[in-house]
Chains A and B, each alone.
Chain A
């Protein structure tokens, strides 16, 4: 039914860590969940258990980067971005430190744990910080291909990972690059642009739209920042209609990035955002919560139809 991206991430980080000895992992006591115990088992001298202390993890990672290491702070998205936020701003982003922040269990994928754990604000919170690149993989192939570019990128990166089994969307030949939006499906009537696991649901929605004779361009905003304006512009110049899809608050994330491009380029397009409105969610199953809070495949199809009717 799919692959957990954390498993792919863990395997690939271990593989890259074999030749790049600068890579270290800092863990705020969630390594069992993030699969970083496997990294610890292979590289015990490059794994640092910090206990439940995300602020210390981020600041210490900045210190390690100052000494030339490539620290990966791997944890739950909500706690590794929002708890130490000002430390990320001051010591990682402003300090231009080569720190890689990996936020797992993002969006509704942490749904069973309730509002304390469901992270729907991280993209917006980090997107306003200069210097940080923000990426989020949509499938296992892209996840594997992201690790080397993230290590090679000389600066802070935030990688958002959802904790749900996801199907393969890409062939190995995509050649992931930071800053590039990918296009898993071509159409001409409407643009559906998603991020992370939403890309798969956008493709499902596109198949349903195709049954109605509507061909959708599906874009994968695998890098939210720096945002690939060109690929979006090329698509919406053709379609004149766009729906953005994210498991994230409507403010600050993909909806904001798309709106900024549309507004700044003064392109006449019909647009609708599929995103979490102003709320914090609750415990439940991911797909059920998506239905309740407005980011399900049905919502994508309905938003597309609304935009097409405008």
Chain B
């Protein structure tokens, strides 16, 4: 991660985000159940790309390297896009991807740290990720480890009370080694987040809990990279980056459509989506 975003690097990262979207949909299509949480994977592609391909100090050959930055996917149901990044980076063999959600697979329906290298901690029970991260980041203080602890949450899971217990504690403990991101794609299983249980005003809420807040276009890599860079400059408080995103981003018929939270990815759907994404990929230059 550096102060300047090199134009060539940006093109590479944009292509990578597009690639991860395609890998995600192809894997959902190929895997035994031909289904998955596509919408939230697509909305978080730029966030996952920024972290795995620019921000995180990591060593895919040594996933437990003590000096690594930690990334906790609190919205565990969107693990496929992370699995695709882990396979691309060499944490896991690419051949594992199509075994997703089958018996004996290291790739569970929600990420299982007992099974999958590169997964820091098991998630999928929504609302726990921030609190787990808090514990890890407090341990870093005890161990005098200087790495950074990143958490990616969904907007729907902010309805869980535990998130706010963790938010209050992280603010209280002034956890400057925690940077959390919210994939604010406005949709959850039953509909729009705002009418299921409104989570706004998010910046005011987090600020009042003692966090530094950023609000950005979460599907714009320059914005995501800049916000993470800025969040890393001051370490006196935890930082939250609220990433406004589009659920299903990159595939026209999935964008902002609630049903794609979790849906069958048939051959027809996949072909249509990949055709669109390939055109996007070619247009990045």
Q: A: which residues have CB within 8 A of B?
A: 24, 45-46, 48, 50-51, 53, 55-56, 59-69, 71, 86-87, 90-91, 94-96
Q: In the assembled complex, how far is the CB of residue A53 from the closest CB belonging to chain B, in whole angstroms?
A: 4
Please determine whether A66 and B136 come into contact, CB atoms closer than 8 angstroms: yes
Do B169 and A90 touch across chains, with their CB atoms under 8 A apart?
A: no
Which of B166-186 touch A at CB < 8 Å? Answer: 166, 168-169, 172-173
- Contact in complex: B169, A59 (CB < 8 Å): no
**B169 x A63 contact (CB < 8 A):** no
Task: Determine the distance from Cα of A196 to Cα of B132 in the docked complex, in whole angstroms.
Answer: 32
**Are A56 and B121 in contact (CB-based, < 8 A)?**
no
Find B138's partner among A60, A68, A86, A95 (CB 8 Å cutoff).
A60
Interchain CB contact (< 8 A) of A66 among B132, B162, B169, B172: B132
Give Cα distance in the complex from A66 to B135, angstroms: 9
A94 engages B131 (CB within 8 Å):
no
The answer to whether B139 touches A62, judged by C-beta atoms less than 8 angstroms apart, is no
**From A55, A68, A86, A96, contact of B139 by CB (8 A):** A68
B142 touches A45 (CB 8 A): yes
Partner pick for B136 among A45, A67, A95, CB 8 A cutoff: A67
Q: Is the interface of B mostly helix, strand, loop or mixed?
A: helix
Known: A59-B166, A95-B114. A69 touches B128 (CB 8 A): no
Contact A53 B135 (CB under 8 A): no
The distance from the CB of B272 to the nearest CB of chain A, in whole angstroms, is 37
Residues of B with C-beta under 8 A to A64: 135-136, 138-139, 142
Please give, as numbers and ranges, the residues of chain A lying within 8 Å of B120 by CB-CB distance: 66
B19 at the A interface (CB under 8 A): no
A67-B139, A95-B113 given; 13 more Cβ-contact pairs under 8 Å: A24-B139, A50-B169, A55-B131, A56-B165, A60-B134, A61-B135, A62-B121, A63-B136, A63-B137, A64-B139, A66-B139, A90-B124, A91-B122
Inter-chain contact B139/A56, CB cutoff 8 Å? no
Does B143 contact A67, Cβ atoms closer than 8 Å?
Answer: yes
| Residue B33 at the chain A interface, CB threshold 8 Å | no
Identify 17 residue pairs between A and B in the complex whose beta-carbon atoms are under 8 Å apart, listed by A's number.
Answer: A50-B169, A56-B166, A59-B128, A59-B131, A59-B162, A62-B121, A63-B139, A64-B135, A64-B139, A66-B121, A67-B143, A87-B125, A87-B131, A91-B125, A91-B128, A94-B122, A95-B113
Greatest chain A CB density within 10 A among B114, B136, B165 is at B165
The reply to whether B122 and A60 contact each other, CB–CB distance below 8 Å, is no
CB distance from A37 to the nearest CB of B (A): 19
A95-B125 contact given A59-B135, A63-B133, CB 8 Å threshold: no
B74 to chain A: closest CB distance in Å? 11
Residues of A near B138 (CB, < 8 A) are 48, 60, 63-64
Most buried by A among B113, B122, B142, B169: B142
Instruction: Give CA–CA (A48, B172) in the complex, Å.
Output: 11
Q: Report the separation of the CA atoms of residues A63 and B129 in the bound assembly, to the nearest whole angstrom.
A: 9
Bound together, the chains give a CA A265 to CA B214 distance in angstroms of 63
The residues of B that contact A94 with a CB separation of less than 8 Å are: 114, 122
* Alpha-carbon separation in the docked complex, A152 to B16 (Å): 45
CA distance A59 to B136 in the complex (A): 10
Please tell me if the beta carbons of A63 and B165 are within 8 angstroms of each other in the complex: no
Q: Which residues of A contact B216 (CB under 8 A)?
A: none
Bound form: Cα–Cα A95–B138 in Å: 19
A60 vs B138: C-alpha distance when bound (angstroms): 8
Q: Which residues in A have their C-beta under 8 angstroms from that of B136? A: 63-64, 66-67
Known: A55-B161, A87-B125, A91-B122. Contact between A69 and B139, CB under 8 A?
yes
- By a CB distance below 8 angstroms, the chain B residues around A59 are 128, 131-132, 134-135, 162, 166
Q: What 4 A-B pairs have minimum CB-CB distances, sorted nearest first? A: A63-B135, A60-B135, A59-B131, A67-B139
**Min CB–CB distance A284 → chain B (angstroms):** 33
Q: Are A91 and B121 in contact (CB under 8 A)?
A: yes
**CB-nearest residue of chain B relative to A45?**
B142
Query: What CA separation (Å) do A69 and B137 show in the bound complex?
Result: 12
Give Cα A95 to B120, complex, Å: 11
B133 touches A69 (CB 8 A): no
Within 8 A of A (CB), among B128-167: 128, 131-140, 142-143, 145, 161-162, 165-166
Interface string of B59-93 (1 = CB under 8 A from A): 00000000000000000000000000000000000
Measured CB to CB, the nearest residue on chain B to A63 is B135
For chain B residues 48-62, which have a beta carbon within 8 Å of chain A?
Answer: none
Residue pair A87, B162 in contact (C-beta under 8 Å): yes
Q: Quick check: A63 and B132 within 8 Å, CB to CB?
A: yes
Q: How far is the CB of A164 from chain B (nearest CB, A)?
A: 31
CB <8 Å contact, B128 and A87: yes
